[in-house]
Structures are given as structure tokens and as C-alpha cells.
Structure 1
């Protein structure tokens, strides 16, 4: 390893070893357990390995082993992530879904099945052409968002009717198009100096 500026550049471009990623993944999973109770491990696995992963439960019963599988056909894409500023607790959301499942098992299973169908359609579009993915992705996101609302894990701020596409994403999410022309001036920049 280099020192000084050269060492920094090397650190920015090197990939941790498999053993290092496994260690980081394990600690990240521990942090997820503290925050969420019983996480799937998907967030930390994707963060450590990069790309996309498919998560499947080995069986229908609760407690069945989880299987992670890299999505080889996933193309690089730009995704807009926003902060809705709506506080939430994953632990409470999971408990809410569990209560819904206890009260309405058949309906909840149907919703889970529909979410799985959306995921399969996404994987099929990803494995197909760029044009197909571009055409289908906005609709798949809309459908999945509606299913999440039905499960009680996505709220009204994301489903605002004044947005062209629920989920804080525009319909041209994946299709490269020219930006719309501006009809008004941009907002003024904040030029105030920060207070000490």
C-alpha cells in the first residue's frame, strides 16, 4: 500500500478481499439486528457485494432458510432515492404485516404472491432487452408500490396523486430522455454562511 495521496487513491479503488467483505457483512448484519430485530440480511449483503440479489425463502413456513442469489442479468441503472422525512420503525412495520397475516392469511398470502410475481417480471425484463426493461420498469414499480401500500408498509407521502409516478420516481426513470424545458427561474441559491 502506498502512503499519502497515492495511498488514498489506492484505497478508493481497491476492492476488499472476500474475507474482509464477509467480516464487514457479519458486523453490518449485527447492526441490522439491533435496529430491526430479525432482518433478512439482504440490505447488508447487497451493500457488501454490490449489484443486485434475489432473496428467496427455502420453504413457505416461517423460519425457513433464506437463499441469496446474485442477479447476473442486472444492468447498471440510475435510481433516485429520496428521504420522505417520515419517521418509521422497520420493527413496527414487520409487526403490522404479521398482524395482518394473522387476521387475513389468505389475502396476505395473495399479496405476497403478487409481490413475487412483480419480482419475477422484473427479472424477466432485466434478462431481456434494455428497451423492454425501460418500458416495463415504471409499471412494475407502480404495481409493487400499490402492493406495499396494501400490506401497510408504504405510506401516503409516496402515493401522492400529484406525482406522475408513485414512489418519488418519474415515469422516465430508466428511459434516457431530454429533461423538460423550464418555464420558470430556478430557486435562488442559499448564500448565507453557516453559523458557528
Structure 2
């Protein structure tokens, strides 16, 4: 094997997107100065790393424990993109917190997945099934993400954003009476 040529990047801005694009383009990257302005000496060893991507395979019956921070929504966006361009369809069960202050799984299911269909992603095989919900601090709930494979995306031009016809929401509660949830629904 010959010497690997790394594309050099600086800083930690958009690190997830950088690693995602490096994986899709099979480009090795070296990220430096991740914590350039951090004065804590504890992190000195973690200021640089190299990433050499392999082949994105996909697969069925995969399971990943996301922990309690960040929530499952943090992992969904890169997983969908990697799954679309993998060798085999992706089916993965994610365990952890389904809702936090960032993107929750309901928002991802009702906003991102329909948007992907406009880019030519087939409806068959593209699914996010919420099997159970979990909130901080313990989480412990899971979702099932299924992503088909595609060859390319279709270009989309969005000129007219349209009118808002209705606003919908999802409500759930944990460890409280369902009366609180009903009151919240009627107050909205």
C-alpha cells in the first residue's frame, strides 16, 4: 500500500458534515486545531485526528445505542445520507433519547422524510418507525430507520413556498396523568 494523501482541514466547524462528505467521496481527511482556543490542558491530546473512510456497506438488523446525549435526532441526518449511497439498503435500530431541545424524531419524520421524496428518494423502503419514546435523563427508547439505496438525487427547484393550510403537532407525556396531555391539546 502506498502513502495516503490526506486533505487537511482546520477547526471543528461542521465536523459531522465534513466526515459525512469525506465518507461519501472516499477522501481521507486530517482535521487539526479542533480545540485551538481551549485553555484546558486536559484536551491537548485531542486537537488533531486523521480519518480514512472505507466502503459504506449499509445492512439489515443493525443496532446502535446512542446514549443519552445527544438524542437520536443527531444521528438520523448523517445516517440517512450514508444509507442512501451505501451498497445495500440500511435498516438500523437506534436506542436512546427520542426528544431533546434539538431535532426530535417526530420533526425528522414529518419534515425531512417528505423532503427527501421530492429529491427522488423512493417512498418504498424509506421509513422512520418510532417504537417507543424516551426523554432525558434516562432515555432508553428506540426508533427503527430504514433507508433504500439510490444512484443519484434529482435536482429540485423550489420557487413558490405555498400557503400554510394547517398546523399539526405531536404530543406525548411521561410519568404524568393523561389529563395534563389532554389539557395541553385543547389549549393549543
TM-score by length of 1: 0.22
Identify the structure with the greater helix proportion.
1
Identify the structure with the greater strand proportion.
2
Q: Which has the higher contact order (CA 8 A, sep 6+)?
A: 2
The structure that has the greater radius of gyration is 1
